[in-house]
Chains A and B, each alone.
Chain A
Amino acid sequence: MAGGECNQLNESEWGSAHERWTIVGAKAEGNSHKKSGLPCQDFVGWTSLDDGTLILAAADGAGSAEYSEQGARNAVEGALRVAPLLWCRPQMRADISRTTQAVFLAARLSVMREAVRIEKPPRSLASTLTVAIVSLLETCVGRVGDGLIAIQDGVSISSPMRHADREYANEASFVTDRHWRNSLTLAVLESREISGIALSSDGLRLVACSDVRTGTPFEPFFEDLFKAAESGVSEEQLARFLESVDDRTGDDKSLLVAVRG
């Protein structure tokens, strides 16, 4: 993780920066994937930094891309590996939006490097990616693709962005696309208003969205999810839910939840 420079962060710069978050994540293979012998192509991960900054990442490998399981894994691991290094630099901390963009570039490069390593075309590792950087003051959420995002501000639950208009249910953008930058959507929010963040792949969209076209969260689902996270729901319990829910898409499913306290 961070080098010497980060350890010398001025305490007063951050106040008592150690926000406590409870984070839990899980994934389950979709029924369609099981039938056709594909592995689970979703991946989630997170890391927290010395100053209390939290980084969440969730990726969904393209169903038709043979190695997208590796694509999703490398996208998430690339994002989580580089974000702390970037966050060390004051000029990056001062521009969370720019940092998030740089994290996406790093994630993409990680996938491209893996493609070279296994000698396959990048398109065969295609994956979506959603990243949230939650620092003391500001939170930035970035997304390439059709992942779901729900943010609880203590009162209500909403998504900070809507899906781009697209005709087909399976149209998505991927970090491996040549024009990925055009597909990257960013939103910056004030962290103090956020009591919970959840990222999910689109496998749950029919049961967890009130409007699948825009990606608007179905509030009761996420209320229950945030409450469960606060009460200490385990990865196993989340995984059991994902395995058994009738999602009606047959897609892989994944959830990553972070709540304060």
Chain B
Amino acid sequence: MSDFDFAPRLNEDNPDPRVACILALDTSYSMFDDGSRRFELAARPIDELNRGLRKFAEDANGDDLTRKQAEVSVIKFGPVAEVVVPFCEVREFTPPTLVAEGGTPLGAALQIAMSELEQRKQQYRAGGIEYFRPWLIVMSDGTPTDTGTFETAVHQLNDLERRKAVAVFSIAIGKNADVGTLSRLSVDRPAVQLNDVKSFGDFFVWLSRSLASVSQSDTHAETDGQHVAQGTQVTLPPIDGWGRV
């Protein structure tokens, strides 16, 4: 044995474990023009958002594990809520170019997101694929316009998060964002305000890095009071490069 490397046969057939991430993005008209006439053409939130999505695709594909484990879906809301990118592996993710128009049907977007997540989990289970707790990222610069739907959806989403079915991250864009309402989306953490319109890129790099560290995190198998209070137990990189609470 002394001269040779130990090289046992390995199982090649197990699929990579997955972490599903849904991006629910506000594409209401204010993301193009919030009426303040402050924006130079190049710095409209919708443009920065699109740029940020490209940065995300690039950064996520730069990490070996993230490339194989992360799955992304993009839902937009404004004028309607719809899936623009159904779930795909990050290495196949083509960032969409989003256009801003209409109101803010955030409630409908949340419902679509919850339904997509449940469906994805079922697909994982059917395929014998391991998965980590999925993430839902919501970014909005205003306040929901479909209030009735929103109330029902938030209630359901809070319930899911309490049961550890999903981890919700809520991001408020710009000075007109309804931070109070956006903070209702998660029971574990308040909404984070994007520092400024230039911070989308930094946010998406942070997201990519955070997804990379998911496999090092732990989800507690038992409901032990002190641990439930601790939230996700994922050690995330600091947010101060792009946001503030």
Contact = CB atoms under 8 A, between A and B. Distances in A.
* Interface SS of chain B: loop
B222 A183 contact: yes
A223 B9 CA distance: 9
A207 interface: yes
B68 interface: yes
Contacts of B131: 167-169
Nearest to A224: B8
Interface residues of A, number: 55
A147 interface: no
A209 B14 CA distance: 8
Contacts, number: 132
B9 to A, nearest CB: 4
A223 B64 CA distance: 30
Interface string A41-77: 0000000000000000000001111000000000000
B152 interface: no
A64 B17 contact: no
- B216, B230, B234: which has the most chain A beta carbons within 10 Å? B216
Given A164-B221, A212-B14, A245-B10, A170 B215 contact: yes
Contacts of B226: 123
A240 B14 CA distance: 23
Contacts of A90: none
B11 A221 contact: yes
B227 interface: yes
15 contacts: A164-B221, A168-B133, A169-B215, A208-B10, A220-B8, A221-B8, A232-B1, A232-B2, A234-B1, A237-B5, A237-B6, A240-B6, A248-B14, A249-B65, A251-B215
